[in-house]
Structure 1
Amino acid sequence: MTNAVITTTGPDKPGVSAAFFRVLGSYNVELVDVEQALFSGRISLSAYVDLNPNRLEDIEQGLRNTLSIYQQQISAELSDALPRSRSTHAVVVMGRPLTASHLSSVAQELANFNVNIDRIRGLSQEPVTALDLSVTVPGEEESLRKALAALSAQLGIDIAVESAGLSRRSRRLICFDCDSTLITGEVIEMLAAHAGKEAEVAAVTERAMRGELDFEHSLRERVATLAGLPASVIDETAASLTLTPGVRTTIRTLKNLGYRVAVVSGGFIQVLEGLAKELDLDYVRANTLEIEDGKLTGRVIGKVVDRQAKEDFLREFAADAGISMSRTIAVGDGANDIDMITAAGLGIAFNAKPALREVADAQVNHPYMDEILQILGIPSDDVVRAEDAE
């Protein structure tokens, strides 16, 4: 007995697989590994087998005769290679559009690091085209990550690298930043607009997000501009929040998969409470605005939710959920999220400032939160079927 690879390709029709294995069975062929793929109405079915090498030509001819009515093309050859590579990593490539030239550049960069592409499958066509590449990385991955991050910026597409196997499928807690991540704007700027101080506050916010200012100092400075505003502006601001596209689908899908979902915000709990209830979030932490006699005092109560606090809360949520930090995901956009992003098992920079992109494991540079599902290897078809069933 020896090993061989036998393949049939052609139009996909009922009965092709049954006839293929019926012929192999008639020659007492033993199966070692099988892979079948359907693509645009065509089937590709390969079997890695043990057989009597003297019967290979007879088997090939038998397949041709039997499968000719299905318009199949047959190939059969002896092989001493392993049936399939056990991939070490997943590389997800996302673009709108995603062109053949983009994929060529990614494949060449992988080849430069002696990385073999074992398999490619499509994950989505909307809102971005996403391809999942199963690859084998022969050495350390940090240099590869940096090279792919640079290529991502150069090409204007998103590229994420993750370890393959159980670690990719075992995560069960995701923690979002809120402003400019879960929602499209900055809450404090919305509040400041009521005081006619939006431009002034936005300038301070931008510097804080880039890491140029201490977050707590900048927050207190910005909140001070709100002094004297009626507390009713909180409800008005809460009613005007706009979710980032794909947030509802992403959170609903992850919760259906057993995830706990958290939000940690440098914004304000009074504004987020309704949203947290609407999205069925498991954990919510944010700053608290002080209110006296129905007006904002321009101060916050208690400890400020700053960069360190965000990491601390992520660790608190993981402990409460009974999972290790390696099974957590954090998503943010600014310097205030750096500690949380680096502490998580998977840190995702969402349309982020450079300081955060440099330390994140993956980047999303399109305005669609459901790209996170693709990074996790969840096909959009599975999401749609689950939504329809629900």
Structure 2
Amino acid sequence: MGDKTKAHEFHLPLAKITQSALNCPVRYLTFHNDHARLGLEYSGATPFSDTFHCDLNLPSSKPLMVQSPWCLTLLSPAASLDQLQRLIHFCAEQNWCIDTIDTLSYRRECTVIRFQFSAELEFSPARFACLQLAEEIGVDLVLQEGPSQRVPALAGFDMDSTLIDAEVIDELAKITGIGEQVVAITEAAMRGELDFRDSFKKRMALLKGFSEQRLAEIAQQLPLKEGAQELLHCLRELGCKTVILSGGFTYFANFLQRERLAVDWVHANQLEFAEGALTGEVIEPIVDGIRKRLLLAETAKEMGLSLQQVVAIGDGANDIPMLNLGALGIAIHPKPKVRLEAPQSITRFGLDAALYLFGLNDQQIAKLGQP
């Protein structure tokens, strides 16, 4: 049998973390006042010789204050020493001066480590470099301005493939037997290859005659995106207002608000019926990407908020305008084009992982309770 697994906290300079040739699971990392504490699980040889170590001492329930101009958050489904080493090397190569590090989640299935750093950087190329490294080491890396690490006052959400794990218009088409045709139009629009307004009108025309009774049945069956209920519940508990801004339909968004999700307001497209069935026509104005951004900005203005108190979350090309509006624009499980253009993105976790980008840790999230 193999060596017995050991778990220890190592006290060492941050630079020394990159010097071990061994790889092993990471439980946590903190760095403050030039002193690093690294929690590891390992078997066999000690990863760091001539270094003080003790039993694991999990981080405190209160995160460090954000005082640096930038934050880089690592979210890993299986955090490893190799991932940390690559990230520390990366920061050094970029001339990013690491000020502090703390761990927001030390669950084995989701370890979240936040780096605060000082640097003069151009956001877009820096974000792209982070995306490349994230792909190489199998994590999410989220770059954001330090002041944006706070709970927003207003959060705008796309609905289809963001709050729910489906594109409603595609589900309607599958039932009517024209699924492949409509799905192809939807995917092209979400990738940004087709104008959303034109694609929306084409898809609606194909759905002429769909019964209102079947719509009610479908609404009951819509699968929620992982973490959607948890995120919206926590935002409500924290006093943040939320709004659905959807190129989908008010019929389904209102159902979600009424029955399943803690949402304050809804803006989406209205369906036109005649004799209990869809007419295939659209009711203007269509909620496309530009209108989503406009509605989110108008909502913030009505609330007396600055855009630095606003965040947006979506997944498709028609979400890009609103994702670039406020303090954060988080693409959740995004299409490739959106991942390249959105300011922030989460690809390996559910919606509730956004809470870490608002500066919360697991202990604080747990105190907010379950939905």
**Offset at residue 91 of structure 1 (A):** 1.0
Alignment of 1:12-161 (within 5 A): 86-126=67-107, 128-161=110-143
Partner in structure 2 of residue 181 of structure 1: 162
Matched residue SS, 1:169 = coil
Confirm or deny: 8 A CA contact 1:93 1:158 kept in the other structure.
yes
Distance 1:227 1:141, change over 3 A: closer
Query: Alpha-carbon deviations, 1:197-233, whole Å to 9, x = none?
Result: 1121111110000111111111111111211121112
Which amino acid in structure 1 is aligned with residue 200 of structure 2?
A: L
Partner in structure 2 of residue 222 of structure 1: 203
Distance 1:256 1:36, change over 3 A: farther
* Whole-angstrom CA distance in 1 between matches of 2:330 and 2:213: 35
Partner in structure 2 of residue 60 of structure 1: none
Cα RMSD (Å) of the superposition? 2.7
Distance 1:335 1:140, change over 3 A: closer
Distance 1:35 1:104, change over 3 A: closer
Q: So what's the TM-score if we normalise by structure 1?
A: 0.75
Partner in structure 2 of residue 190 of structure 1: 171
Larger Cα-atom Rg: 1
Establish whether residue 295 from structure 1 lines up as the match of residue 277 from structure 2.
Answer: yes
* Whole-angstrom CA distance in 2 between matches of 1:86 and 1:344: 20
* Whole-angstrom CA distance in 1 between matches of 2:209 and 2:79: 51
Partner in structure 1 of residue 317 of structure 2: 335
Query: Identity percentage over the alignment?
Result: 33
Structure 2: state its 5+ residue gaps: 1-8, 11-31, 40-53, 55-64
Partner in structure 2 of residue 308 of structure 1: 290
Distance 1:308 1:325, change over 3 A: same
Confirm or deny: 8 A CA contact 1:266 1:305 kept in the other structure.
yes
**Offset at residue 145 of structure 1 (A):** 2.0
Establish whether residue 263 from structure 1 lines up as the match of residue 244 from structure 2.
Answer: yes
Confirm or deny: 8 A CA contact 1:283 1:317 kept in the other structure.
no
* Whole-angstrom CA distance in 2 between matches of 1:158 and 1:206: 24
Alignment of 1:233-248 (within 5 A): 233-248=214-229
Query: Alpha-carbon deviations, 1:163-190, whole Å to 9, x = none?
Result: 224x432631111111111110100011
Query: Alpha-carbon deviations, 1:319-367, whole Å to 9, x = none?
Result: 1221011211111111111111111221111111222222222110024
**Offset at residue 241 of structure 1 (A):** 0.8
Partner in structure 2 of residue 385 of structure 1: 367
Q: So what's the TM-score if we normalise by structure 2?
A: 0.79
Query: Alpha-carbon deviations, 1:39-71, whole Å to 9, x = none?
Result: 87xxxxxxxxxxxxxxxxxxxxxxxxxxxxxx9
* Whole-angstrom CA distance in 2 between matches of 1:293 and 1:85: 58
Distance 1:277 1:118, change over 3 A: same
* Whole-angstrom CA distance in 1 between matches of 2:66 and 2:357: 21
Distance 1:86 1:273, change over 3 A: closer
